Amino acid sequence: MKRNSRLCSILHILVHMAEAKDSALTSEKLAAFISTNAVVVRRTAAGLREAGIVTSSRGHQGGWQLARPPEEITLADISAALGESLLPFSTERESPGCLVEEAVIAALDDFRKEAERLLAERLARITLADLAADFRRRFELIGESTHAA
């Protein structure tokens, strides 16, 4: 898993979970989908579990599943669960008391607030089911997938 591609990787494995329907997928299998390590998957997926997006179970036949139907999971939910802002610029005080800095920070904070609202609104329109449907459309057109769900 390369840098800054967390959202992309997570969506990838979540769509695989959506396709797997009622059977659980192990961290090991999920990790293979995105060419990474099982521990990395558990680590990241733990955040999704806390957000109520996936569930995990141990032991035989254990693994990961969606906690609710993919129609009810939006990209906004997932993005929020990852806990990082999509706009990761920071507005930290460097020169306490400088009024120029205060004006700049005020403007940027306003912008960030508005921008995050806009982005979340857009992301909330896309569900995991939409992605899964697009996958199936591609599958029917081309007829193969290197690693089937």
- Which spans of this chain sit near a copy of itself (rule: CB under 8 A)? 1-9, 11-12, 15-16, 19, 33-36, 75, 86-92, 94-108, 111, 114-115, 118-119, 122-123, 126, 130-132, 134-135, 138-139, 142, 145-147, 149
User: What is the closest distance, in whole angstroms, from the C-beta atom of residue 45 to DNA in the complex?
Assistant: 7
Structure tokens at 24: 């659980």
Is-contact 111 67, C-beta < 8 A?
no
Contact 30, 44 (CB under 8 A): no
Q: Is 55 left (phi over 0), alpha (psi -120 to 50) or beta?
A: beta
Of 11, 12, 33, 42, the one binding DNA by CB under 7 A: 42
Is 85 a binding residue for DNA by CB under 7 A? The answer is no
Is residue 67 within the footprint of DNA (CB under 7 A)? no
Helix boundaries (H) for the chain: 6-20, 27-33, 38-50, 75-82, 99-123, 128-142
Return the DSSP state at 61. Answer: T
Residue 79 lies near DNA (rule: CB under 7 A): no
60 binds DNA (CB under 7 A): yes
Least distance (Å) from DNA to the CB of residue 23?
10
DSSP state, residue 71: G
Among 32, 38, 80, 123, binds DNA (CB under 7 A): 38
